[in-house]
Amino acid sequence: GAKQSGRNGYLFFDPEHSRLAEERVVAIGRVQEALDHDELTLYYQPKVDLKRGVVLGVEALLRWNHPEHGLVPPAQFLPLIEHTGLSARIGDHVLARALDQLDAWSAEGLDLSVSVNISARHLQEPDFAQRLAELLARHERPLGPRLELEVLETAALTDIGFTSSLLERCARLGVRWALDDFGTGYSTLTYLKRLPLQVLKIDRSFVANMLTDAQDRAIVEGVISLARTFDCTAVAEGVETPAQARLLLDMGCEVGQGAGIAAPMPAAEVAGWVREWRGLFALAAAPAVPPP
């Protein structure tokens, strides 16, 4: 049966609970087939300047367009393959597709940057930087400066010496590095100092609770101030309401992404959305938020 929810509401497998080796092997095989049958597709979520009301770019987010189950989110299949070579193959595919899309948008005169999530396994491929250079070189247009790569703290910090030189090498191709879900990992400030980062993405769990939880609000403020110190842009993820956007602006975070601005959408809808978007009208009406 299609669309039937399994254990814990998962459509077909729950990575956390697929402990049986056979079950995992079968599931990994299905992801492999999804890649081969071109069922993996990218959705794009806008990232905007909250202050100026300008669309800055989009984040590419992977979806499995499953013939029976419909659109399957990455949490339901990426964890299964994260320690396998398939993770790097999918990563390569995602990068290639995102660059093709970026090129197409540039050709239409759409001035956007594209962010791509890079898995730890992909980053650790010995030829990651070389491969990135090759993918960029496929395009006549210089796309490096419009490409942003997002890594999780956990991925970036396994071997700081290796990671910082790899990130430097890629940065020489013009790409920018963002630390994703910042605040949920274990970064030390020393590590932050050693990595060539341009963006810190504030994890949405803090953004979600900052209006009511003084500690989460302090964490958000802390990340914004760290970003300033390290010459990075702070980007808030999971912006769902005008009140959250208002508070972020008051705290000095000008860039946001989230369902309150736009949900991830197919590539074909992006140009129309950008054309129609008129900034956050509701923002002007949102009252200043008192501390909890």
**By the criterion CB under 5 A, which residues form the site for Mg ion?**
117, 150, 180-181, 237
| 227 touches, from ligand C2E, Mg ion, none (C-beta below 5 to 8 Å by class) | none
Residues 95-124 binding ligand C2E (CB under 6 A) are 117, 119
Distance between CA 170 and CA 176 in Å, rounded? 8
CA angle 201, 221, 240 (to 5 degrees): 55
**Residues 6+ away with beta carbon under 8 Å from 250:** 288, 289
Q: Smaller CB distance to ligand C2E: residue 18 or 45?
A: 45
Q: Do the Cβ atoms of 44 and 264 come closer than 8 Å?
A: yes
3-state secondary structure of 234: strand
| 79 touches, from ligand C2E, Mg ion, none (C-beta below 5 to 8 Å by class) | none
Q: Smaller CB distance to ligand C2E: residue 176 or 204?
A: 204
Using the structure block, give the residue that is written with the tokens 């992977």. Answer: 62
- Looking from the CA of 97 toward its CB, the CA atoms found within 13 Å total 23
Phi, psi at 131, each rounded to 5°: -65, -40
Residues 36-75 binding ligand C2E (CB under 6 A) are 45, 60-62, 73-75
CB of 289 to ligand C2E, least distance (A): 17
| 78 touches, from Mg ion, ligand C2E, none (C-beta below 5 to 8 Å by class) | ligand C2E
CB of 195 to ligand C2E, least distance (A): 18
Q: Smaller CB distance to ligand C2E: residue 63 or 193?
A: 63
Q: Residue type at 260? A: G
Q: Is 264 in the site for ligand C2E (CB under 6 A)?
A: yes
Selected range binding ligand C2E among 24-32, 158-166, 215-223, 235-243, rule: CB under 6 A: 235-243
Selected range binding ligand C2E among 9-17, 105-113, 215-223, 236-244, rule: CB under 6 A: 236-244
Q: Do the Cβ atoms of 148 and 114 come closer than 8 Å?
A: yes
Considering only CA atoms, which of 225, 237, 235, 230 is closest in space to residue 263? 237
Q: Smaller CB distance to ligand C2E: residue 1 or 33?
A: 33
Q: Is 79 in the site for ligand C2E (CB under 6 A)?
A: no
Q: Which of 14, 148, 216, 237 binds ligand C2E (CB under 6 A)?
A: 237
CA angle 161, 165, 171 (to 5 degrees): 145
Distance between CA 8 and CA 17 in Å, rounded? 10
3-state secondary structure of 149: strand
Q: Which residues of 101-121 are buried (b: 16+ CB within 10 A; e: fewer)?
A: bbbebbeeeeebbbbbbbbbb
Q: Smaller CB distance to Mg ion: residue 32 or 184?
A: 184
Q: Is 76 in the site for ligand C2E (CB under 6 A)?
A: no
Residues that bind ligand C2E (CB under 6 A): 45, 60-62, 73-75, 78, 91, 94, 117, 119, 150, 180-181, 204, 237-238, 240, 258-259, 264
